[in-house]
C-alpha cells in the first residue's frame, strides 16, 4: 500500500524513533585486519590492473578506452585520456609510483579548452572522472603536483557555462567550442552529483563559486515538491527547475544524487543540515515505500515507483545502495539502516552467486507478496524457472565491468569484519580471470565485458571502460588491503571511487538535525523526453528515451540476440528499462 504523504511522514518518524540530532559514529569496525589466509588476493588484483593497463598503453595510449579484442581504442570521453586520469588514484593506492609519475606528466599536458572529438562534454561524467580523478591524485600525492589542480580548475571553468538562468540546475552537456550548453532535460543524478568535487576545488582554489554552483543544484533538488518525502523524481528540466515525470528509483538517473547527500555532509561539517536530513528522509521513505522482499529466498531489494505502481526491478547500477546505507547508517548511529544495508548487499551479491559465471547481470527483477509488476512483459517460462531456483530473474544479461556490487561488498567488510565478504571478493576475482580476460598471441592480457553472465561461453564486449581501473579494481584491492591505510573514517570515495580526505574524527560531528524533512512545495512536474545519458562508446547503446518519467526502450533480454548497452554506472535508466 502506498501511504499518503502526510501519513508517511508520521509513520517513518515512529518507525525509526529518531533523536533530535545525530552524533556521528565511526564507520569501520575497530581493530579490523585481513586474515593472513587472504593475503594472496591483493596481489592478484594488482596483476589484473597491470595486465589491463598494459593492454591500454599498448593499443590505446592517450585515448579514453582500450578495445583489447580488436586491439584498438575509442574516445567516448572527449579524447582526453579518461583511462589514465581515472586510473591515477588506483595507481597511488597500489604503490605503482612509476606509472603514477607518467600519468602526472600526461595529465599536466591535457588541453581541456576544447574536446578532441566532435562530442559535447558531459558535466557529470567529466566531473566524476576528470575533476575527481585529478583532485584525488593531487591529494594522495601530498599536493606536490600543482598541474593536477590547475587542470581540474581548467576543465571546471569550462563546465561552469552549463549553469544558465535562475533555476540552479546545470544542463547536462556543453559544447566546449562555443561554451553553449545543450538545452535538453537532465536527471537528478547528473545535476545533483557535483558537490564533492566542486566544493573540494573551491577549497583548494579559494573560489567559492564552484561550491555554490554545486550546492545550489543539489539543494534545489532536495527542496522540490515530491510524492514521498525525500524522493524526488528522476527527471529534471534545467530550463524550469521542475521534475520531469514522476519516476522514482535508486537506480540510474537518480542514484548518485542520493549517494552524495550523506557523503557531502561527511566531507564538510559546516554544510547545511539539509544534506544529511534529506538523505535520512529518502532512506526512511524508501524503507516504507520501496523496500520489498522476494517470495523466493527472502531477498530484500528497493523497487522503483513509476508514479502509480511499484515496479519490482533491480539493476547492477542500483546495487551501490547497500554500501551507501552502511556508510550513512554508521555515521548516523542508526542500526536499522545498517541492517537493511547489509540485506540489500546480500541480495545484490545473490545475483552474482546464482549465475553460471558467478558475475552479476545488468538488469534483473523480482516477485514479492505485493506482486511482480515490472512495467514490461511478464516473465517467460524460462525466467520463472530461474526465479524459482534463485530468487530473481534476469532481464538484461550483460556485464559491462560495473563496480556497484563489489563496492557494497567492500563497505560490508569494513563495517562488519565478516570474512564472508572477503570470500565473495575472492570469488569475483576468479570469475573475472576466468570469463573476462582476453589473451592475445603477443602475450597481452586485457579484460572486457560479456554479453551473457549465465553462459560460460558468452561472447565478449570489446571495451574496457575507465571505471574498471578507477572502481572495480580499486574496491577489490582495498577489500584485501590493511583497513587502516585508506580507512572509511578518513576518506570518502566519490561515485567514481576517487578517495578524498575528510575531517579527522567523528566524535564531535553531527549529521543533520535528526528530523525528517517535509516538503512544503506542491509536487509539480513537466512533460518531456529525457534521453539515456553518457552512452558507453564504441559498443552500441540502448535505444531508450524517457517520456513523462517512463522509459521506452529496446533492451537485451535473456535469449535475445539484440545488443543494447547503457551508460556508465549510475547514469543510465537501466533500472527502469524492463
Q: What is the pLDDT of residue 141?
A: 98
pLDDT in tens, 400-434: 999 999 999 999 999 999 999 999 999 999 999 99
Q: What is the mean pLDDT of residues 482-510?
A: 88
Indicate if the pLDDT at residue 398 is higher than 70. yes
C-alpha cell at 192: 545533483
135 versus 17: the higher-pLDDT residue is 135
What are the E-state strand segments in 335-480?
A: 363-365, 393-396, 437-439, 445-447, 449-450, 460-461
Which range, of 3-12, 55-64, 534-543, averages the lowest pLDDT? 3-12
Indicate if the pLDDT at residue 53 is higher than 50. yes
C-alpha cell at 59: 593499443
When pLDDT is cut at 50, 70 and 90, the band that residue 503 belongs to is confident
When pLDDT is cut at 50, 70 and 90, the band that residue 88 belongs to is very high
Q: What is the pLDDT of residue 83?
A: 98
Pairing of strands 242-244, 525-526: parallel
The span from the CA of 449 to the CA of 465, in Å, is 9
Task: Give the three-class secondary structure for 483.
Answer: coil
Residues assigned a catalytic role: 125, 255, 362, 404
Angle in degrees, CA 484, 408, 480, rounded to 5: 40
Indicate if the pLDDT at residue 280 is higher than 90. yes
The span from the CA of 477 to the CA of 455, in Å, is 27
Query: Which residue has cell 547503457?
Result: 566
Radius of gyration (Cα) for the chain, nearest Å? Answer: 22
Q: What is the pLDDT of residue 551?
A: 33
Q: What is the pLDDT of residue 565?
A: 32
Indicate if the pLDDT at residue 193 is higher than 90. yes
Q: What is the mean pLDDT of residues 12-27?
A: 56
Q: What is the pLDDT of residue 575?
A: 30
Neighbours of 270 (CB within 10 A): 5
Q: What is the pLDDT of residue 562?
A: 27
487 versus 529: the higher-pLDDT residue is 487
Q: Are residues 81 and 126 in contact, defined by beta-carbon separation less than 8 angstroms? A: no
521 versus 428: the higher-pLDDT residue is 428
Q: What is the pLDDT of residue 571?
A: 32
Q: Who contacts 420 (Cβ-Cβ below 8 Å, separation ≥6)?
A: none
When pLDDT is cut at 50, 70 and 90, the band that residue 574 belongs to is very low
What does the mean pLDDT of the chain come to?
89
What is the tally of helices (H) and strands (E) in the chain?
A: 19, 25
Q: What is the pLDDT of residue 501?
A: 97
Q: What is the pLDDT of residue 538?
A: 52
Indicate if the pLDDT at residue 471 is higher than 50. yes
pLDDT in tens, 91-124: 999 999 999 999 999 999 999 999 999 999 999 9
Which domains, and CATH codes, for the chain? 36-506 (1.50.10.10)
Instruction: Show binding-site residues for Ca(2+).
Output: 495
When pLDDT is cut at 50, 70 and 90, the band that residue 16 belongs to is very low
Q: What is the mean pLDDT of residues 229-255?
A: 96
Instruction: Show binding-site residues.
Output: 495
Q: Are residues 27 and 331 in contact, defined by beta-carbon separation less than 8 angstroms? A: yes
List helix spans (H) across 469-578. Answer: 473-479
If residue 433 lies in a helix (H) or strand (E), which one and from where to where?
helix 420-435
Q: What is the pLDDT of residue 519?
A: 77
Q: What is the pLDDT of residue 528?
A: 80
Q: Are residues 569 and 403 in contact, defined by beta-carbon separation less than 8 angstroms? A: yes
Q: What is the pLDDT of residue 22?
A: 53
pLDDT in tens, 128-163: 999 999 999 999 999 999 999 999 999 999 999 999
Indicate if the pLDDT at residue 506 is higher than 90. no
Amino acid at each position: 500500500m502506498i501511504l499518503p504523504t502526510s501519513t508517511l511522514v508520521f509513520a517513518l518518524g515512529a518507525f525509526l524513533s529518531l533523536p533530535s540530532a545525530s552524533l556521528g559514529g565511526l564507520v569501520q569496525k575497530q581493530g579490523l585486519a585481513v586474515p593472513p589466509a587472504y593475503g594472496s588476493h591483493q596481489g592478484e588484483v594488482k596483476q589484473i590492473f597491470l595486465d589491463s593497463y598494459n593492454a591500454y598503453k599498448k593499443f590505446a595510449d592517450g585515448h579514453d578506452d582500450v578495445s583489447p579484442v580488436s586491439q584498438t581504442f575509442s574516445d567516448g570521453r572527449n579524447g582526453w585520456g579518461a583511462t589514465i586520469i581515472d586510473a591515477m588514484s588506483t595507481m597511488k593506492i597500489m604503490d605503482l609510483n612509476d606509472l603514477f609519475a607518467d600519468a602526472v606528466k600526461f595529465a599536466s599536458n591535457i588541453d581541456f579548452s576544447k574536446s578532441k572529438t566532435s562530442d559535447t562534454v558531459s558535466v557529470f561524467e567529466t566531473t566524476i572522472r576528470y575533476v575527481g580523478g585529478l583532485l584525488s591524485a593531487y591529494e594522495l600525492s601530498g599536493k606536490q603536483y600543482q598541474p593536477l589542480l590547475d587542470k581540474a580548475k581548467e576543465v571546471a571553468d569550462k563546465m561552469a557555462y552549463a549553469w544558465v538562468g535562475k533555476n540552479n540546475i546545470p544542463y547536462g552537456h556543453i559544447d566546449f567550442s562555443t561554451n553553449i550548453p545543450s538545452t535538453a532535460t537532465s536527471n537528478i543524478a547528473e545535476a545533483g552529483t557535483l558537490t564533492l568535487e566542486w566544493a573540494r576545488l573551491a577549497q583548494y582554489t579559494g573560489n567559492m563559486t564552484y561550491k555554490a554552483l554545486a550546492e545550489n543544484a543539489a539543494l534545489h533538488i532536495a527542496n522540490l515538491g515530491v510524492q514521498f518525502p525525500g524522493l524526488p523524481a528522476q527527471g529534471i528540466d534545467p530550463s524550469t527547475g521542475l521534475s520531469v515525470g514522476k519516476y522514482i528509483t535508486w537506480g540510474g538517473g537518480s542514484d548518485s544524487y542520493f549517494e552524495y547527500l550523506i557523503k557531502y555532509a561527511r566531507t564538510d561539517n559546516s554544510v547545511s543540515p539539509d544534506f544529511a536530513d534529506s538523505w535520512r528522509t529518502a532512506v526512511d521513505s524508501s524503507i516504507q515505500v520501496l523496500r520489498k522482499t522476494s517470495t523466493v529466498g527472502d531477498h530484500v531489494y528497493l523497487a522503483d515507483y513509476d508514479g502509480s505502481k511499484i515496479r519490482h526491478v533491480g539493476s547492477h547500477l542500483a546495487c551501490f545502495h547497500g554500501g551507501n546505507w552502511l556508510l550513512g547508517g554508521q555515521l548516523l548511529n542508526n542500526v536499522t539502516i545498517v541492517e537493511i544495508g547489509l540485506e540489500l548487499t546480500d541480495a545484490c551479491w545473490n545475483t552474482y552467486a546464482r549465475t553460471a559465471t558467478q558475475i552479476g547481470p545488468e538488469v534483473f527483477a523480482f516477485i514479492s507478496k505485493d506482486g511482480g509488476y515490472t512495467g514490461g512483459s511478464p516473465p517467460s517460462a524460462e525466467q520463472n524457472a530461474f526465479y524459482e531456483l534463485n530468487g530473481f530473474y534476469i532481464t538484461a544479461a550483460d556485464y559491462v565491468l560495473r563496480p556497484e556490487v563489489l563496492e557494497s561488498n567492500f563497505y560490508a567488510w569494513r563495517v562488519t569484519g565478516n570474512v564472508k565478504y572477503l570470500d565473495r571478493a575472492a570469488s569475483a576475482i576468479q570469475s573475472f580471470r576466468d570469463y573476462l580476460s582476453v589473451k592475445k598471441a603477443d602475450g597481452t592480457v586485457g579484460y572486457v565485458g560479456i554479453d551473457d553472465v549465465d553462459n560460460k561461453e558468452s561472447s565478449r564486449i570489446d571495451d574496457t571502460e575507465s571505471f574498471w581501473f578507477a572502481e572495480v579494481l580499486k574496491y577489490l584491492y582495498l577489500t584485501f588491503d590493511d583497513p587502516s591505510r585508506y580507512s572509511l573514517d578518513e576518506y570518502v570515495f566519490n561515485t567514481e571511487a576517487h578517495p578524498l580526505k575528510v575531517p579527522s574524527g567523528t566524535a564531535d560531528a553531527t549529521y543533520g538535525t535528526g528530523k525528517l524533512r517535509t516538503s512544503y512545495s506542491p509536487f509539480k512536474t513537466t512533460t518531456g523526453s529525457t534521453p539515456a545519458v553518457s552512452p558507453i562508446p564504441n559498443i552500441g547503446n540502448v535505444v531508450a528515451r524517457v517520456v513523462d518519467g517512463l522509459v521506452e526502450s529496446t533492451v537485451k533480454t535473456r535469449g535475445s540476440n539484440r545488443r543494447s548497452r547503457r551508460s556508465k554506472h549510475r547514469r543510465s535508466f537501466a533500472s527502469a528499462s524492463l
